[in-house]
Amino acid sequence: MHKHRTNTSSSPPPHQHVEQHKHIGVGSLTHDIRRSKVVLVGNPNVGKSLFFNHLSGLYVDVSNYPGTTVEISEGHFGTCDIYDTPGVYGISSFSDEENVTREIVLQSDIVLNVVDAVHLERDLFLTLQLVDMGKKVAVLLNFMDEVEKQGLDIDIKLLSTYLGVPVFPTVAVSKTGFDSILAAIEQARRGEQDKDLHPKLHTMLAVSGSEAEALLILEGDEVIAQRHGVPPGTEREDIYIERRNRVNLIINAILSERNVRTRLSTLIGRWSVNAWTGVPILFGALYLVYLFIGTFIAQDLVEFLETRLGNELWEPWIRGLIGKYVSPESWIGIIFVGEFGLATMTVTYLLFLLFPLVVAFYFSLAIMEDSGYLPRLATLVDRSLNAIGLNGSAVIPLILGFGCVTMATITTRILGTKREKQITATILQFAVPCSAQLAVITAMLVGAGFRAMLIFGLTIFIVFVAIGTILHRILPGKTSPLLIDLPPMRMPRLDNVMKKTLYRAYFFMKEATPWFFVGALAVGLLQVTGLLTVWQNVLEPFTVKWLQLPREASVSFVMGMVRRDFGAAGLYDLALTTDQIIVALVTITLFVPCIASLMVLVKERGTKEASLIWIGTWVTAFLVGGILSQILI
């Protein structure tokens, strides 16, 4: 026993020896030594970002289902730099999110720990770990309104005594208790560390330089251990269980349940993971999304915007304007206001087709996310995805892929193993059409009738399953098990959903727009230099003989290499029979990923894998499209 512990047996024991051993060698986030670094830490879906938004005044991505806020956000509040972190259940190196959170916590001065008061048992594990790390902590106890509704009683004063750090009750959605955040920052202090852990920390301190890192090494954190050149500790399990027991002890003392009644939201949550009711709920949800995106946005709104505003107002106006200075027949004229003009078609597609669709898609996704439905969906489809070597979590990148394949490819990071990342990324690049492409496809399929829809859907589905199954067979290793926490079902907050939607749509447009212009420019240049005809001639045997499409369809394949939806859009104006529509759409759907997607793929999966996938999509698209063509036409 350390001698300085002898006089601290009564609670709460302030650690007078703190000053001797803190703050050695951390701080790549350092901007200014006078400013303190305050970091918001909490489990997923505890409302962290609402606090962050309030403090920083900036908007960032709100709730986070794993993967949506891997990037951290920084803001300023008074003399503090505020950092938001991805939601984690503990500090360690199990995932990218944890790595990010761990680094920021290690470099912070003050930790504001946001805790879901309804799920104290789960959340206090992280709180105690932060306390054990020797960080200055203040707890923001969120969802106090739900505590009331669920018939729970929390003794906040006692909780604060046990933890040794101040605790502030809040309701983030209504900003109740937000006036105490400043007090929380000021009053944050070191809490009540595990008595047995403390001496061990001191032994490790000589190596690690900070208590926080000492603890992580003891807990077997390989990254931190390696950083200090020591073997990782072997006591993780003991420390974790001991910490768990402390949580239980605290819970028993501070929490009491009054009348417990099951609420409707809880019931809906249960029903959506039930064998009998889950599937109807899934189809109901998908149907609503289809009604909203497929019918209302894609048909009514886009029709109006694209035809009335785009084709009839904007395009004649800009053509007239540019026509005053350059002849529409000159090569500059063709590039700017021609068939694939930068100022005509590109602008119309971007603003009047892509933008409303992307907004609608992100809106639907945000609702599913904020309501807590997404993880339940993952649970429901877990077993089906096992068949293609994935677990339920992969449903998130796969669904996101229907929004934007590029974004979805980045999200494959949340998956547990390299194998799952490979399978998911490959399926995304091959067989998942993104929202913009899907919009054009839907519009064309609606015109082509039910049979066309059925054949198209079935073909893509078969390719989807085939690719997954083949990869599952040939890749070494096995599927990692599903293990996720199901957050409570909550009514999504419209303002949050809107903010998140617009934020994401904005970033997507920012990312996509340049590539759109690059694509249009490339096609325009090919057109004026006559290379387009050369390309058409090269592809002609494939396009005309094998796929039995008009030779102009090969233009779509040029554009498809730049942006997938661009490729599909190129087919839109061709005069095609119903069967030709099916063949053309199948081919363009399976065709190569867009440039942005390819860039991300190279980054995430390496050049070799990316080029294999890229070439593979060429082969698959023409093979499947051709076979279909030979059968149908």
Partner 1 sequence: MSDIKSDAISRIIRKWLANMTKNETLPLHKVARGSLVRIVRIPDGNSKAQLIRLGVHVGVLVRCLERLPGGTLVIEKNRQEIALGMNLASTILVSPVRHD
Q: Which residues bind partner 1 (CB under 8 A)?
A: 89-90, 92, 94, 118-119, 121-122, 125-126, 150, 236-237, 240-241, 244, 247, 269-270, 273-275, 278, 375-376, 378-380, 382-384, 386, 391-392, 478-479, 481-486
Q: Between 236 and 319, whose beta carbon lies closer to partner 1?
A: 236
Distances (CA, A) of 627 to 201, 381, 415, 462, 578: 67, 31, 34, 13, 16
Max CA-CA distance within the chain?
Answer: 91
Give the N- to C-terminal CA distance of the chain in Å, as an integer.
85
Residue 380 CB, shortest distance to partner 1, in Å, is 7
Closest distance to partner 1 from the beta carbon of 375 (Å): 7
Please report how close the Cβ of residue 245 comes to partner 1 at its closest, in angstroms: 9
Residue number, 128 or 460, with CB nearest to partner 1:
128
Instruction: Round to whole Å and give the CA distance between 362 and 390.
Output: 24
Q: What CA–CA distance (Å, rounded) separates 66 from 105?
A: 18
Q: Minimal distance in Å, beta carbon 461 to partner 1?
A: 19
Q: How far from 40 is each of 45, 52, 60, 104, 139, CA to CA, in Å?
A: 13, 7, 13, 10, 10
Instruction: Report CA 478 to chain centroid distance, whole Å.
Output: 24
| Element at 588 (helix H, strand E) | helix 578-590
Other Cβ atoms within 10 Å of 264 Cβ, number: 8
Pairing status of strand 73-77 against strand 36-42: unpaired
Please report, as a single letter, which amino acid is at residue 572.
Answer: Y
Structure tokens at 251: 């819970």
Nearer to partner 1, 411 or 479 (CB): 479
Determine contact, residues 408/427, Cβ cutoff 8 Å.
no
Rounded to a whole number of angstroms, the minimum distance from the CB of residue 382 to partner 1 is 4
Nearer to partner 1, 81 or 221 (CB): 221
Closest C-alpha to 270, from 177, 160, 397, 372: 372
Minimum distance, C-beta of residue 555 to partner 1, in the bound complex (Å): 45
Which residue lies nearer to partner 1 by CB, 377 or 559?
Answer: 377
Rounded CA-CA distance 289/267 in Å is 22
Closer residue to partner 1, CB minimum distance, 78 or 151: 151
Question: 61 vs 370, which CB is nearer to partner 1?
Answer: 370
Find the shortest distance in angstroms from Cβ 272 to partner 1.
10
The CA distance from 346 to 88, in Å, is 42
Decide whether 415 or 610 has the Cβ nearer to partner 1.
Answer: 415
Please state the closest distance from residue 517 (CB atom) to partner 1, in A.
44
Residue type, 43: N
